[in-house]
Amino acid sequence: MAPGMVPRSTTQVSAPAPWLVAAVKYAAPILTAEEYGMIEMRTAPTWGLLAKRVSIRSSAARFKSERLVARASADDVCVLMYTGDTTGQPKGVVHTHRVHEAMVLMELAGWDWPAEPRFLATTPITHASGTIIMPVLLRSGTFIMQAGFEVGSFCRLVEQHRVNATFMVPTMIYVLLDSPLRREHDLSSLAMVIYGAAPMAPARLTEAIGVFGPVFMQIYGQSEAPMALTVLHAREHEPERQPQRLASCGTPMAGIQLRLLDEHGVDVAEGEVGEICARGPLVMAGYWNKPQETAAALRHGWLYTGDLARRDADGYLYIVDRSKDMIISGGFNVFPREVEDVLSQHPAVAAVGVVGVPDPKWGEAVHAMVVLRPGAGESGQPGSDALGAELMALVRLRKGAVQTPKHIAFVAQLPVTTLGKIDKKAMRDQFARRRADAAG
């Protein structure tokens, strides 16, 4: 089918909404196309409306051709995007046309695109996957949508459409790795697997590269500065030569300024933890009707992202955690991401989440929820004291006593948000309920 051609299709609607009835009566029909230059709309007979067939050329001939005039400016609001907040209520992020134009150009210029992308959206297009639609189409690609992630349908769609690009959050990749269904399908067409929205355990990333090859590209961004703050290209994933780099979110993309600042707006030293702050055309205008939250996020001329990170000598950033998720135990700062990465190295662990919970002695204690791999049990039965002690000993050996979990709960699955991120607020709530049940 030639570019610009629209296939003939049939749309069935159970009952007409008032706005649709009005549109049918007073507007030009636009539902289906029979041939180039003709459009046709059919409505259900029970509505009492007739099918219409109109020639685009004949209709256009009644109007005088004029130059198109843009009625929007780069700084006009184009979208209100709500955050996928796991620590509180989502906030409406105000974006202008300038933000989305910059985002699309940066994605086109800085990502590892296949020559002819056939992209499968596994996550809601209200967030990350939606921002990839325009770059795919601008590269004359195909955008395929999956109605919610499920391993079987994912594998079938990849095989059927020879999908070569997709975006997945780490929890989806873990499920795919652990499912026997992936062995029943040909997934060799995958050439660019974008991952992000949450940290991925280096041990599991190494496993994924071993299974699918060097096709993984990490991106870091947030609703307040969408998608394109940093990138870790596929070529930079080197498990053997640079294993520590698998924990990095990459380097800043061209077109954005990034600094690691303290709460006073001062740069932190190399290797020290600071908050990732961004400046440039990607940054939001503010939060909708939330002036206090806007003032807290936009300080000293920078967007304070809420993500804490270190920078190494080569300029790679390593996110240690969200500032709101940092645990203060006995006066020491504990970053859950670092504990999760250690626990994920154990061969029995499929996924893990770590949070701080109230503790009368330490103020906060490190609490871990662990999902075991299918068939794991060599080190003890799920939930057994032996396996829990083994995991605690692993953290104590690698990170020290302060970072060692005081509690480990073995669960069938971790709570996640609608975007697939581990829901740490829900984890804390589950711990509180268990503690209340035990006390009561």
Q: Which domains does the chain have, with CATH numbers?
A: 1-63 (no CATH), 77-256+276-298 (3.40.50.12780), 326-439 (3.30.300.30)
Measured between alpha carbons, how far is 37 from 315 in angstroms, rounded to an integer? 54
> Can you give the pLDDT at residue 133?
93
State in Å, rounded, how far the first CA of the chain is from the last one: 68
> Can you give the pLDDT at residue 12?
35
Which residues does 77 contact at the CB level (< 8 Å), separation at least 6?
94, 95, 96, 285
> Can you give the pLDDT at residue 257?
95
Kindly report the backbone phi and psi dihedral angles of residue 370, in degrees, each rounded to the nearest multiple of 5, phi listed first.
Answer: -125, 130
Measured between alpha carbons, how far is 408 from 90 in angstroms, rounded to an integer? 29
Given a cut of 90, is residue 46 above it in pLDDT?
no
Given a cut of 70, is residue 289 above it in pLDDT?
yes
**Around 21, how many Cα atoms within 13 Å sit in the side-chain half-sphere?**
10
Comparing 40-49, 168-177, 213-222, 235-244, the range with the smallest average pLDDT is 40-49
- Rounded mean pLDDT, 213-232: 93
- Rounded mean pLDDT, 65-69: 86
Question: What percent of the chain stands above pLDDT 90?
Answer: 51
* Residue entry with tokens 């051609």: 5
Token readout for 370 is 């662990």
> Can you give the pLDDT at residue 324?
81
> Can you give the pLDDT at residue 86?
55
Question: What percent of the chain stands above pLDDT 70?
Answer: 85
- Rounded mean pLDDT, 418-437: 82
Measured between alpha carbons, how far is 129 from 168 in angstroms, rounded to an integer? 9
Measured between alpha carbons, how far is 57 from 37 in angstroms, rounded to an integer? 6
> Can you give the pLDDT at residue 381?
53
Given a cut of 50, is residue 32 above it in pLDDT?
no
Given a cut of 50, is residue 298 above it in pLDDT?
yes
CA torsion, points 98, 101, 104, 105, in degrees to nearest 10? -100
CA torsion, points 271, 275, 281, 287, in degrees to nearest 10? 170
- Rounded mean pLDDT, 55-72: 82
Radius of gyration in angstroms for the set of CA atoms belonging to the chain, rounded to a whole number: 25
Given a cut of 70, is residue 199 above it in pLDDT?
yes
Comparing 51-55, 175-179, 337-341, 431-435, the range with the smallest average pLDDT is 51-55
Measured between alpha carbons, how far is 376 from 90 in angstroms, rounded to an integer? 37
> Can you give the pLDDT at residue 326?
81
- pLDDT band, very low/low/confident/very high, at 206 (cuts 50, 70, 90): very high
- pLDDT band, very low/low/confident/very high, at 309 (cuts 50, 70, 90): very high
Average pLDDT score, the chain: 83
Given a cut of 90, is residue 359 above it in pLDDT?
no
- Rounded mean pLDDT, 298-308: 91
Comparing 1-10, 98-107, 119-128, 409-418, the range with the smallest average pLDDT is 1-10
Q: Is the Cβ–Cβ distance between 232 and 250 less than 8 Å?
A: yes
Q: In this predicted model, what pLDDT tens digit does every residue of 269-288 receive, in sequence order?
A: 999 999 999 999 999 999 99
Question: Residue 42 is which amino acid?
Answer: R
> Can you give the pLDDT at residue 14?
38
Measured between alpha carbons, how far is 299 from 409 in angstroms, rounded to an integer? 39
pTM of the model: 0.73
Most confident range (mean pLDDT) of 15-19, 243-247, 430-434 is: 243-247
Comparing 58-67, 235-244, 253-262, 276-285, the range with the smallest average pLDDT is 58-67
18 or 211, greater pLDDT:
211
Given a cut of 70, is residue 39 above it in pLDDT?
no
Given a cut of 60, is residue 435 above it in pLDDT?
yes
The H or E element spanning position 152 is helix 151-161
Token readout for 280 is 């440039």
